[in-house]
Structure 1
């Protein structure tokens, strides 16, 4: 993961899922009553509930409505003030595939003296990210989406200078420097993100995830994303020929591997069931159909999709 993100190994912790990563930051941050978090209103629940759960500590969550499915950074900026501590955002929207400009988000957060948390589950592994150039502060992702790994194995990135800012949670035998000296009881935490790996982990899941990440890195995120753009552009073209309306923003700066579409006059739930019966897997989101082709998909897969939707 350090190679994938261009991060230091000391900044990487292995976690069970995105939720655990968000929670470690949300619950470990040194909040004061009156502080606030700013995030888009359409975030996946994983990137909302851990922040909303801070209400008992006097922390306000400011949820910014979207404009026609798009994030308006101007509105986000207007919601920030001197008590804004964290901006939290998905790199790619789970429902319509909108890809956020993380450089712009990081600049906005830091301009207001805040930090940036990124939910990267819908992009990590197939869209390039260099945290040395894009100064995000925290990132979390589960491995079972675009990373093609098992469920229950994920990653948390904490920029080195923030390690001591967070109160460590889930501290256990593996959180200390002398992890295998069980007779020595001294709370001497590891000076790395490994302090969050408190106990025994999902080794089978992590081994599977390691194999998947190595495979993805052998191709490189740049090549993988170029292929995904090629496949999704072909999908959009063929779907429009079938009468579909593409709701996702497909401009180069915001497109991703997720495409949301409408089939006017047809029930998306019924269409999804028909597709599943034919071995074509897609989802219903926001009253439409969502497809998420990966780099391994090809024109024959798209043909099966077109035939299933057109049946």
Structure 2
């Protein structure tokens, strides 16, 4: 009997990533925080803020960002709010903001609420009828010179579609638009650099393939845009010197710290440092090859199981997840529950079963998954 917690049947990297020894590494980091924070001396802030800076430095290394252009955020939504709220007014007022209909819903909710106040039109490019992701060519067709900003989704959470960043960013430059990318569903597995192609900003969390904690998001802003931004969400940590108490002499920090505001929430950053360090020490090509091999097994077996892939078949256009549409019959919740009972961890969005094999997932885990799905197949 395979242990339910050995990781071999873990397919939830689109939700919470895992890595060998994660529990012990996180426990050590958080225990160190507790010991520091609970010691009655004056060492807390230097140590904790130093740990947060370590988190930021690891992110700079991961995405090829210049020092001073990345800061932490609670999540992608707050990161995007900080960015949007800091833009010069002429970037958006009277213009449109372009997103795909399969972007992360939280970001769409935010933008829809900001549009009336900031005076931009939210243009959402729809999915074609019967399709699972917004086509790159449809984004380009909707992207004219009225677009002040386009927010691209590196990899979608509902189909694992990987957009063609090179083509989309090149088109955006021709249109004179700002271009931002939400890399949440791909970073840590797929290579990504903020300068290849060069984008104006990037938002992400440290969850998913990186295996970090919730609450440990990031915002990267390229230097030319950063220097123009005056974030409305600001506070004492937005200053060059946070300890300046002159109420009439507020000045923004010269780097990404201007997107900080009140006292930083550092605990999530500290809890995610072990995950970022583990990821940085790995052979990225080998991790991706492992994912591709297991994903191909699932994709090739899907038709015989009566499951319809809703993810791209082409590795170059797919993230690390494989999404399969369940046939009519068993309720999605019951499928997930039945798999859980035999140590296979997945989830569903509607009738779409989401499967993301990562570093702790094994070939045996995939074989067990396929066997379990065969048993659950509804009668023809």
TM-score, reference length from structure 2: 0.76
CA shift in 2, pair 1:26/1:178, >3 Å? closer
d(CA) in 2 for partners of 1:83 and 1:213?
A: 39
Q: CA deviation at 1:309?
A: 2.2
Partner of residue 263 from structure 2, selected from 193, 200, 206? 200
The residue that corresponds to 2:72 in the other structure is 14
Residue in 2 that maps onto 1:52: 112
Separation of aligned partners in 2, 1:35 and 1:183: 37
Task: Write the distance in 2 (CA, Å) between the matches of 1:276 and 1:153.
Answer: 28
Deviation at 1:286, TM superposition (A): 4.6
CA contact (8 A) 1:125 1:147 kept: yes
In the alignment, is residue 35 of structure 1 matched against residue 99 of structure 2?
Answer: no
Q: Tell me the residue number matched to 2:360.
A: 296
Counterparts of 1:105-144 in structure 2 under 5 Å?
A: 105-144=168-207
C-alpha distance 137-221 of structure 1, shift in aligned 2 (>3 A): farther
Decide whether the 8 Å contact of 2:76 with 2:205 is kept in 1: yes
Preserved CA contact (<8 Å) 2:326 2:351: no
Maintained 8 Å contact 1:117/1:138: yes
Equivalent in the alignment of 1:209: 272
Q: How does 1:1-311 map to 2 (within 5 A)?
A: 1-32=59-90, 33-53=93-113, 54-67=115-128, 68-182=131-245, 186-267=249-330, 268-311=332-375
Partners of 1:247 and 1:266 in 2: CA distance: 18
The question of whether the paired residues in 2 share the 8 Å contact of 1:127 and 1:224 is answered with: no
Asked if the contact 1:37/1:86 (under 8 Å) is kept, the reply is yes
C-alpha distance in 1 between matches for 2:150 and 2:359: 31
Query: Which whole-Å CA distance do the structure 2 matches of 1:304 and 1:29 have between them?
Result: 50
**Counterpart-to-counterpart distance in 1, 2:196 and 2:183:** 17
What is the RMSD computed on CA atoms of the aligned residues?
A: 2.0
SS at match of 1:107: helix
TM, length-normalised to structure 1? 0.92
1:111, distance to aligned residue in structure 2 (A): 1.0
Per the alignment, in what secondary structure is the counterpart of residue 333 of structure 2? Answer: helix
User: Contact 2:227/2:255 (CA < 8 Å) preserved in 1?
Assistant: no
Q: Distance in 2 between matches of 1:183 and 1:26?
A: 27
Unaligned runs of 5+ residues in structure 2 are 1-58, 376-380
How far is the alpha carbon of 1:206 from its aligned partner?
Answer: 0.5
- Range with greater deviation from structure 2 (166-175 or 13-22): 166-175
Deviations 1:15-62 (A, max 9, x none): 111111111122222345421011111212122122212223321011
Using CA pairs under 8 Å that are at least 6 residues apart, name the structure with larger relative contact order, 1 or 2: 2
Instruction: Provide the rounded CA distance (Å) in 1 between the counterparts of 2:104 and 2:187.
Output: 16
Measure the CA separation in 2 of the matches of 1:218 and 1:239.
Answer: 34
Contact 2:201 2:219 in 1 (8 A): yes
Q: Report the Cα offset of residue 220 of structure 1.
A: 4.4
Residues 123 and 146 in structure 1, CA contact (< 8 A), matched pair in contact too:
yes
Report the 3-state secondary structure (helix = DSSP H, G, I; strand = E; otherwise coil) of the residue aligned with 2:233.
coil
